[in-house]
Structures are given as structure tokens and as C-alpha cells.
Structure 1
Amino acid sequence: MMMICLILAVIFCSPVFSEDWKAHVVQNLDALVSSCIVVPCSFSHPKTGLPSSKLRGIWHLKSDHKKIIYYEDQTRVDDNFKGRTRLLGHLGQDNCTLEMVEIKNHDNGPFCFRIELVETAQPTKDMFSFVEECVSFKMLSDTPKPSLTLPEKIIQGRPCSVTCSIRHTCSTHMPKITWSRTSDEITEVHRELHLGIWEVLSTLIFIPDEKDDHNEITCTVAFYGGKTSFTTSKIYVKRAENYNHIIIPAAVGIGTAVIFGVFCILIVKKYKNRIAELQNQEGSMFNRLSRLSRRIRA
């Protein structure tokens, strides 16, 4: 057992202290069978600043470091992974991000990254496998369905936004979202939710009509590798609120009240003028009688 440990130490460790060798690898990701996956990976080593030409990156099975899934020399790559893996980052920038395409149901890993420093023509001595930072895949045989979100109320004649979203783990080949309605305005956003987990969000904006009521709307997602899935939902369109049944009677009532009020004012005014005229007439008659009475007495 001690001999095995010593051999492993010679194979995987460098003469420098292991604390100087660090890596950050996403350890768990969903992988859709037949599609692709991107594994974010970064690392550091004691001799920083070396160009990519002085570095060799290797991805291998954790259980068997000789079973290589990525290496620049394809002859050393296991037959099951030849032509299916590549490094996306530059090793000189401490980027060891891995892409794997045409995912098979046995590609679950765990897979680990190994770095080799090549500074002379002599066989490489400085190397380190980050066996504590490895990635495992949860294999998805069934294609995930997109999430379709509709507003609570869809009102006739008013702009309506419907969203369709899907999460994925292959940022180099984003899923494509299409709609059953093609003549409306469509916007699309790609965003990273967590390290290694991405989302495609498509928004459909349309103005619902009466004929859209009880119709179906469908968003379809096409994944790299040929698999597709879709989600369908019915839309229910409400007629726009019409307040004519309130406004018209109210307007008629107010108009009638105004007309009646003006009519009353005119009648009252006419009545007051008539009273004033009568009072004037009575006063004149009284004055005449008074003068006539004084003359008779005289």
C-alpha cells in the first residue's frame, strides 16, 4: 500500500508544494445525451506567466489517469472520446475550460484536469492532477421542456408579453427557441445563471385580438445534436373594458339636471320680475288714490 502511494505521488505531484497548484472546476453539471456540454475550469501553478506553448493540458478519468479524454495529441486520447473534446480556453491564461460534444449516456465521469509544465527538451517533470476538483455529469436522456409564462390577464387590443425559457450547460451551442406565432416581435436574451449553467430567454410581444381567444401558443426548443422539446398553452383573451353603459346614462342625467336647473332659474327669475311689476303697479295706484283724496278734502 505504501509503495502504491509513493508511485501515485511521483505520477501526480511535482517537486513543488501542492498548495501552489490550485484548480476550480464545476463539480456537477447536467448533460443532455447527444448534445454538448461546457465545463468551466481555471487553475494556477507555481510558475505563472508561462505561454501556452510551455503548458500541456490533459483531461482524464479520475479512476484511471491513463484513460485520457482530452489531449492535444489525439493518438493518446481514448477511442470513445476522440474528436469529441477540445479546450476552449488558453492554458497561458490559466483557463482549462473543456467542451464535449455528442454526449453519450456513459460519459458521466468524474473527469479531472492535469497540467504539465514543459520548459526544456527533457521529459516533463512538473505536473499535477487536480483529483480533488473533478466534474461529474448527470445524464439526461429525456429532453427538458421549456418553461412558458403567460400574463395573468390578456386583454384584447393591449400589448401582451409571453416568455419561454430553457436552461442548458452548453454555452458554445445555445439552444434555439422558436414560436408558433412568427409575425410578432421577438427578443432573445442569453445569460449565465450560475457557473456552467446558462439560460436562453425568449419574449414574444403581440397584440391579442378576439380571434386569439382559446387559441394555443407553442414555444419549441432545438438543442445542439438534434433533440427538440416544446411547451403549449392556451390563451384566453378578455374584451377591453367598456364603460359606455356607465358614461352615457351619467352624461344624460347630468345634462337633464343642468337643463332642468336652468329652466327653474328662468321661471323663478320671471316670477320675481312679475311680482316686482305688480308691486310697482300697486304702488302707483295707491299714490294716485292718495292725491285724489287730498284734493277732495281741500
Structure 2
Amino acid sequence: MSKFSHVLLSIYFLGHIFCRSIAWQVKMPRHIKGLLNSCLEIPCTFDYYRYPPKRPDRVVWYQYVDRGYPLVYDKWYPDDVIYAFRGKTEQISSSSKTCSLRIYPVTWSHHRQKIYPWVDPENVGKSTYRFFDTTVTVEVNDTPEEPLITVSGDTKVGQSVQLHCTVHHTCPTYPPTLTFNSPLRNGRVNHDCSSNGICKTTLTSTLDIKSDHESVTCSVRHPGGLTASTSGILNAECSFSPLTISTSSAEFLEGQPSKVTCTALYTCPKDVPVLTWNYDSMPTSTDTKEIAKAQWRTVSTLMFTASGNDNGRTLTCYATFGGGRRQEERIILRVKRSMLSLGWSFTTPGSITGMRGSCIIIPCSFTYSRSQPSDLRVIWYLYQSNEYPCVYDQKQSAIRKFEGITSLIGSVKDMNCSLKIEKLEMSHNQDRLYPWIDQHSITSYHIPGNKFLDKTTQLIVTDQAQEPQLSITDIPRVGEQGRVSCSVHHTCLTAPPILTLSGINGKDVFMDSLVSDGIWQRTIERTWMVEETDQSVKCTVSYRGGQKATSELRLNVECPYEEMKMVEPPRDPMEGVAKSVICSVSYKCKKNKPTIEWNYKDMQSVLHTSEKSHNTYNIVSNLTFIGSLDDNGKSLTCTAVFATGNTSASETL
């Protein structure tokens, strides 16, 4: 402001030649705090509905004193600013109706200074607003505010939470820097300022909780170097997963040791549990390890030996964690009868499927826990709850539905108890059979309820033949050898189903292989010379009971061809002199006849096709070539275009 303007303001104010205008208002905080050596931004806005200023962008700040107008900020006359504020003040924004001021750096000389803005001070009149009625007092301190730490999320060990560190300040242009004591994930900073000049800076990061007592420190550093920090302990809840029991198989064999494990998963190492079993007389071992960050595992391994009486009982694992927390898990025991209580055991499939009219072999083997008696005999029974109908026995007749059609396969001395049923009938469907291999009669033992049910073999008899499976080794190519195979599963190795192939002629090889207990696979493999006329191959399976099924496979034979050859290339052609050029190509299949194209399309050519041998053809194209001097160095090309591709031959002229 010029000295003349200062005098003008003094005259107006002292002489009261203008009154306060209620058409104006200035908004800014009455008090504001600034941090030593940092910056301080005083938000200021003004508005009016009458008496607009001539220069609304002209804002000057003054120190409030009894007499005079000491300058705090004046863009036009910076050298006239008083020493305490000289070079330290600037207007933040020159946008419309804004009078905000920045002080940087803040010094002790600014403490308790009362200052105010003036809009358009060079144009003063009776309607001019009394700007000195709206002042702001600056308070300077050298003790920064401690940041505030807050947490959002589920505070459990092994989980992730959001840490928020917040600090208030009055320097949005150069906001303070916030840091945590350890590197966290996904850090982001947010700044927010209110109309009273108080700003809030928040650092948000993700913390992976690894222990139940996490030490968290947030530090703040302000412009000018002042720092502060806040520390705290994040108390997290330890987590526990439900116990799990794992077994090596769904069933236990009576009298045979089997591993059973009980696994406890938890997040805090202080909670290592004590694992116990309700079968506490059996040997156990325990192992504890950290399997991941904040993830611990304790496993108790029980060597469990089941008895026949354990079937249907409960096997329970108990966990006692630090602090008294308890868990338990249980499974129902399924003890598979091994017959060790009788001194022997046998193994048969749970079920087997056969065709009506065909034979079936139930594979069976047995073992004795002691020396095997020399006079053993094998008897097969039909399972019933309170009777023992005989299916096979050398010394007694079988029941009517199995009479004359059962026999043993293999030798009892070799511990083989396999049963062959010569001709299955639909009346055998769903029957359950089991063997008895003991010196004593089955009636001399008390066998409760369903003790044998889980060891019986169920017969499933079907009258519907399944389609055989056709497959081909490679894509068949005319003139080459092809191989196709057809297979079917069956249960009668001594009289397997009949497989026949039709549609192609060739040499057959039959093979039989064991697929699983009592299930065999019969395969027919045919090798043949592929013909152009081969369309498909059919495979038919026929069983002894009259059942048939057929599968068909499209062959989609390929017709190969050889490379195009220029059998008579142009040798030393002369300008204007006709020269014969011949290209030929051999191919399979009459239908595969190609078209012959020359790159000199305006010259005459003659085409001739001949059959060289069965399914092999040769096509010859004779071009009458008349060259010109412009053709020297160019290529002469003939191309055979087939339905499945092209082949070419070239010669440089």
C-alpha cells in the first residue's frame, strides 16, 4: 500500500467518515495454532451482496495495533512488511473471494500476534467494511501433537486389520510425514481440512497380525523437523480351528495296527495343546510345528489296533489348550472283520457284475494267523440272517438255484478260495455270497446279526450288454497299414464273449487282461491296408446268453499325395521359341484328383491322368512355354491344388 493510502485510511478511520457495512462479511477463525518452524495457513473468505470492491483480488494483511497499520502481507509493497513477517507471508489463492494467508516458517515472533485482512484497501469509502473488527490471533507452540492410532477389523492372530494413524496440523501445503515402526502393506495417506484451518492427515496401512501382543508405533515429522510419536500394544485374539481326525482308510482291520491322527490348528504358540485319546492304553506320539506365519499345528498320532468289539464304538480325541480351553472330535469305528479271532481271514470284492447266461468268477483269497490246517475245505454260503444255505461244498448239495453250476477255481493249498458260477440267471441278482474256511462247522460258532454282511460279495446280474469300446491308433491313410481295436469287459475268462469286426478286412489278434478283481477285458485288434472305399468299422459283442451290442466308428481315411515334381524343366529356353515343360504328381484316391496351375496362365497346357497301381494315380501337365527376354531370372512354377493342401515345383528361367 502506498503511503498516501495509509494516510487516507487514517483520515477515514479517525474522522469516522464511513460507517460499518452490514453488506459484507469476512470468515476466518478467531484463534489458530501454528507449530514452530512449520507453516501456518489461515483460511479466509469474504462475501458481500452490496458495495462490491473495485479490486477483489487485492488483499492486504495488517497487524492489529492501537495506531497505524503495520503490514503483515502486501504483494505490491513487500519491503514495507514489518520485520517479523517479512519474507514469511504469502496469499494462498487469488481466486474469487479468497483472502487466505500462509506464514512459513512460523517463529516465536508470531506468537499472540493479532492480524486481519483488508480487501481493496486503496478504495475506501463510507460503505467500506470495518475489516479490523475481524481478526485472528496466532498462537505458536513447539510441542507437536502426538498422533492417534486406531484399528479397524477383526483383531485375531493370523488375520489382517487396518491401522489408522492420524495427526492434526495447520500446514496443508507441507503436511507432516507419518510412519509406522515396521513396514506394513497397502499404505495410503489421506488429507482433510476443515473451515477452521485445522487439517487432519491420516496414514492407513494393513497389518498382518502375527502374535497376540503386537507393538505398534506411529511417528510424525513436521516441516521444520519437530517430531512426535505414539506407541501401543495391539492385543489380538488367538484363534482355534476345530480338531480333525484322519485315518489311512475308512475301515479298520481287526487286530492290525493302523495310524490315526488328530490335528489341532491354532494361531498362538503359547496355546500348544495337550492331545489325548479315549483309547489311552495304545501308543501315541505328538509333533508340533509352525506351518506358516501365525499358523501352528500339533498332531497326535495314535497306533490304533481294533478288536472285533470296537465296531460301532467311538474313537475320541481331546485337546486341552493353554488357558483351559478344550475341544474334542470323534469318529465312529468301522472295524472290518478279519476273522483273526477265528484264526483266519478272507478277502473278496464287495460286488461283481455279470451277464445273464455267462459265467462269473468271484476272486477270493484267505490267510491263517497260525499254521494252516492240512484238511481244510472251502464252503460258500448264501447270506441270510439266521440260516446258512449252501452255494458250494464238496460234501453236501447246493441249494437248487446254484445246484450243478458252482465250482472252486485254484488250489486251497495256495490259499485260493475263488468261486466260479457257470451260468448266471436273473434269479441270482442281488444275492450275497461268502466263504467259510474252517475246520469246524459254521453252525458251531455264534455269529451275531450282520457280522458277515460287510464281507459278502453281492452278485449283480444284467441282461443288457454294454457297447464295446472302439478305438483307432492313428489317422488311417490310403495305401498304408491301419490298426483298430475293440474291447469289452466281462467276468468269464474260460468262455469270454465273442468280438467281431466288420467294414474292413484284415488280420486279427485277440488279447485278455485282468482289469480288477474278477473283471477281465477282451480285446480284438485288426491290422489292415487302408482303402479309399473304407468308410467305417463296426464292432459287435455277443454273449453266451444271447445278448449283443454294437459300436461303430467313422474312419475318415486320408488320401495322401507326393511332392510335385518338374520332371522336364525348361533347359536354356530361347526368346520366342516354344519349349515343352512337364510337371507331374502322384496321389492316392481317385476322388483326390488335383487341379494343376501354372504361374504363366496365358500359355497352353495339356493334362493327362493315369492309374499307376491300385489306388495310386499320376497326373501330368505339359506346358508349352514361349519365353521373352523379360522372363530372364523369373521363376516358372507349377502347383497341384488338392482339397487338403497344395504342392509346388519351380525352376528359375
Q: What TM-score, normalized by structure 2, do the two folds share?
A: 0.34
The answer on 1:86 being equivalent to 2:90 is yes
Q: Which residue of 2 aligns with 1:287?
A: none
For the structure 1 residues 173 and 157, does the alpha-carbon distance in structure 2 shift closer, same or farther, using more than 3 Å as the test? same
1:94 Cα shift?
Answer: 1.5
Unaligned stretches of 5+ residues in structure 1: 1-6, 119-123, 261-271, 278-298
Q: Which residue of 2 aligns with 1:109?
A: 113
Structure (1/2) with the larger helix percentage:
1
1:215 Cα shift?
Answer: 4.7
Conserved? CA contact 1:190–1:199, under 8 Å: yes
1:57 Cα shift?
Answer: 2.4
Conserved? CA contact 2:43–2:195, under 8 Å: no
Residues 107-154 of structure 1: CA deviation (Å, up to 9, x unaligned): 222211122355xxxxx4445541221111233221111011245963
Q: Which residue of 2 aligns with 1:217?
A: 216
Conserved? CA contact 1:62–1:112, under 8 Å: no
For the structure 1 residues 161 and 87, does the alpha-carbon distance in structure 2 shift closer, same or farther, using more than 3 Å as the test? same
Conserved? CA contact 2:27–2:45, under 8 Å: yes
Amino acid across the alignment from 2:386: R
Conserved? CA contact 1:14–1:125, under 8 Å: no
For the structure 1 residues 100 and 63, does the alpha-carbon distance in structure 2 shift closer, same or farther, using more than 3 Å as the test? farther
For the structure 1 residues 22 and 62, does the alpha-carbon distance in structure 2 shift closer, same or farther, using more than 3 Å as the test? farther
C-alpha RMSD of matched pairs (Å): 3.4
Q: Which residue of 2 aligns with 1:148?
A: 149
Amino acid across the alignment from 2:87: G
Amino acid across the alignment from 2:89: T
Q: Which residue of 1 aligns with 2:23?
A: 20
Q: Which residue of 2 aligns with 1:164?
A: 165
Conserved? CA contact 1:185–1:206, under 8 Å: no
1:252 Cα shift?
Answer: 6.2
Conserved? CA contact 2:64–2:116, under 8 Å: yes
Q: Say which SS state the counterpart of residue 226 (structure 1) adopts.
A: coil
1:9 Cα shift?
Answer: 7.3
Amino acid across the alignment from 2:204: T
Amino acid across the alignment from 1:84: K
1:42 and 1:65 mapped to 2: Cα distance?
24
Moved more, 68-77 or 7-16: 7-16
Conserved? CA contact 1:110–1:136, under 8 Å: yes
1:56 Cα shift?
Answer: 4.5
For the structure 1 residues 49 and 18, does the alpha-carbon distance in structure 2 shift closer, same or farther, using more than 3 Å as the test? closer
The answer on 1:255 being equivalent to 2:257 is no
Q: Say which SS state the counterpart of residue 137 (structure 1) adopts.
A: strand
1:15 Cα shift?
Answer: 4.5
Q: Say which SS state the counterpart of residue 154 (structure 1) adopts.
A: coil
Conserved? CA contact 1:190–1:201, under 8 Å: yes
Q: Which residue of 2 aligns with 1:286?
A: none
1:29 Cα shift?
Answer: 1.5
Q: Which residue of 2 aligns with 1:70?
A: 73
1:37 Cα shift?
Answer: 1.1
The higher-RCO structure (CA 8 Å, 6+ apart) is: 1
1:109 and 1:151 mapped to 2: Cα distance?
41
Match of 1:57 among 34, 56, 60: 60
Q: Say which SS state the counterpart of residue 19 (structure 1) adopts.
A: coil
Q: Say which SS state the counterpart of residue 131 (structure 1) adopts.
A: helix
Conserved? CA contact 1:60–1:70, under 8 Å: no
Conserved? CA contact 2:113–2:137, under 8 Å: yes
Q: Which residue of 2 aligns with 1:242?
A: 241
For the structure 1 residues 49 and 139, does the alpha-carbon distance in structure 2 shift closer, same or farther, using more than 3 Å as the test? closer
Structure (1/2) with the larger strand percentage:
2
2:192 and 2:17 mapped to 1: Cα distance?
39
1:156 and 1:128 mapped to 2: Cα distance?
63
Moved more, 142-151 or 159-168: 142-151
1:52 Cα shift?
Answer: 5.1
Unaligned stretches of 5+ residues in structure 2: 1-8, 247-261, 263-315, 318-327, 336-383, 390-653
Conserved? CA contact 1:163–1:201, under 8 Å: yes
The answer on 1:181 being equivalent to 2:182 is yes
Residues 87-123 of structure 1: CA deviation (Å, up to 9, x unaligned): 1122x612111111121234222211122355xxxxx
Q: Which residue of 1 aligns with 2:134?
A: 133
2:136 and 2:78 mapped to 1: Cα distance?
22
Q: Between Structure 1 and Structure 2, whose CA radius of gyration is higher?
A: 2
Conserved? CA contact 2:20–2:129, under 8 Å: no
Q: Say which SS state the counterpart of residue 157 (structure 1) adopts.
A: coil
1:78 Cα shift?
Answer: 0.2
2:67 and 2:104 mapped to 1: Cα distance?
21
1:242 and 1:63 mapped to 2: Cα distance?
75
Q: Say which SS state the counterpart of residue 22 (structure 2) adopts.
A: helix
1:170 Cα shift?
Answer: 1.6
1:33-52 equivalent positions in 2, closer than 5 A: 33-44=36-47, 46-48=50-52, 50-51=54-55
1:240 and 1:189 mapped to 2: Cα distance?
33
1:158 Cα shift?
Answer: 0.8
Q: Say which SS state the counterpart of residue 149 (structure 2) adopts.
A: strand
Q: Say which SS state the counterpart of residue 75 (structure 1) adopts.
A: helix
Amino acid across the alignment from 1:71: D
Amino acid across the alignment from 1:161: Q
Amino acid across the alignment from 1:81: F
1:75 and 1:252 mapped to 2: Cα distance?
85
1:113 and 1:196 mapped to 2: Cα distance?
16
2:217 and 2:43 mapped to 1: Cα distance?
33
Conserved? CA contact 1:62–1:134, under 8 Å: no
2:329 and 2:163 mapped to 1: Cα distance?
42
1:115 and 1:136 mapped to 2: Cα distance?
19
Q: Which residue of 2 aligns with 1:11?
A: 13
For the structure 1 residues 237 and 175, does the alpha-carbon distance in structure 2 shift closer, same or farther, using more than 3 Å as the test? same
Residues 233-261 of structure 1: CA deviation (Å, up to 9, x unaligned): 233444322221799748964524xx59x
1:18 and 1:200 mapped to 2: Cα distance?
39
For the structure 1 residues 75 and 253, does the alpha-carbon distance in structure 2 shift closer, same or farther, using more than 3 Å as the test? closer
Among all aligned residue pairs of Structure 1 and Structure 2, give the percentage whose two residues are the same amino acid. Answer: 17
Q: What TM-score, normalized by structure 1, do the two folds share?
A: 0.71
For the structure 1 residues 33 and 246, does the alpha-carbon distance in structure 2 shift closer, same or farther, using more than 3 Å as the test? farther
Residues 26-64 of structure 1: CA deviation (Å, up to 9, x unaligned): 1122221221111111123544374556x3423322545
